[in-house]
Amino acid sequence: MRKCLRCGEEMVENLAVKAGGYSVILTQRGILKDSLGKVKCAVCPKCGYIENYIEDISKLETSNR
């Protein structure tokens, strides 16, 4: 459960982020690097604040080593 950073309300999670009909995917810098995960979004139903995140950060942690 994510809480809104602005008002503390419980956010609606697991929403898709799309750009031009395609999902946004987080990758390492460089050509042909592995995907680190799909970018997802959470929205506060009270104030409208949005937050982008990736659910599985394990690939991100191993890519920094």
Interval 24-58: pLDDT, tens: 777 776 666 677 888 899 999 999 999 999 888 88
Whole domain around residue 29: which residue ranges?
12-57
In a domain, 64, yes or no: no
In a domain, 19, yes or no: yes
In a domain, 33, yes or no: yes
In a domain, 50, yes or no: yes
In a domain, 47, yes or no: yes
Reported as a pLDDT band with limits 50, 70 and 90, residue 63 is low
Reported as a pLDDT band with limits 50, 70 and 90, residue 62 is low
pTM here is: 0.71
| Of 15 and 19, more confident | 15
Domain count, the chain: 1
Q: What letter would DSSP give residue 15? A: E
In a domain, 44, yes or no: yes
In a domain, 24, yes or no: yes
Beta bridge partners of 47: none
